[in-house]
Amino acid sequence: MTSIAFSPDGRSLISGSKNGTVQMWDVETRQPIGKAMSAGQESDPISSVAYSPDGRTIASGTSKYDKVWLWDAATRQPTAQMAGHQDDVTSVAFSADGKTLASGDLGGRLWLWDIMTRQPIDQMAGHQDDVTSVAFSPDGKTLASSSIDGTVRLWPGPVAWREQLCAKLSANISHQNWDEWISPDNNYVKVCPGLTVLDDDHQR
């Protein structure tokens, strides 16, 4: 086993392994729940696992081919593969609101991912060696990372990132831009609640 994490209600446990599978366990009976989760031919060694705060989503990082996977906790099926890391993923962690996932890699970099769009929000570099662990503060304003270089670094989290971004904008992107830049398959998200939507005011 390479990584373990409790579900938010404490009733189940997930574990990742070098054979590329994620297994769910019943804490009370100590027995596995269903078959191990596998992405088929894409089953690379699992380096880290995490439950979303609502218990509906499981994230796993792979120590080969640099991928982050999302799984449906109910069906135990993969729902998304998020690629971008150029080095092995070493750690994954959800923000307290479940909207953002952080991942660290052997290249000393951290990535922030939007769970709804499955797209990267930001990439951060600063460590001089492998990132070993990532964690969010309870309010989501700070992301912490540790590294083999002997340092612990603090970074602006997704809440702080949104606040900084919205302070510089005059409006949210249009629905048309959302479809072009994000995906027409994902529901529109008003990232800055206090700002208007461009197409609502100018295109409709």
What are the tens digits of pLDDT across the range 109-164?
898 998 988 888 888 888 989 999 999 999 888 999 999 999 999 988 766 666 66
pLDDT at position 3, please? 93
Q: What tens digit of pLDDT does each residue of 56-107 get? A: 999 999 877 678 999 999 999 999 888 888 888 999 999 999 999 999 998 8
Query: Cα–Cα distances in Å, from 91 out to 25, 103, 105?
Result: 21, 5, 7
Q: What is the dihedral of CA 28, 32, 33, 36, to 10 degrees?
A: 150
What's the whole-model pTM score?
0.76
- Which of 197, 180, 178, 177 has the alpha carbon at shortest distance from 188? 178
Q: Which domains does the chain show, CATH number per domain?
A: 3-156 (2.130.10.10), 169-204 (no CATH)
Residues 160-192: tens digit of each pLDDT:
666 666 777 888 888 888 787 766 766 677 777
146 in Cβ contact with 133 (< 8 Å): yes
Cβ proximity of 52 and 10 under 8 Å? no
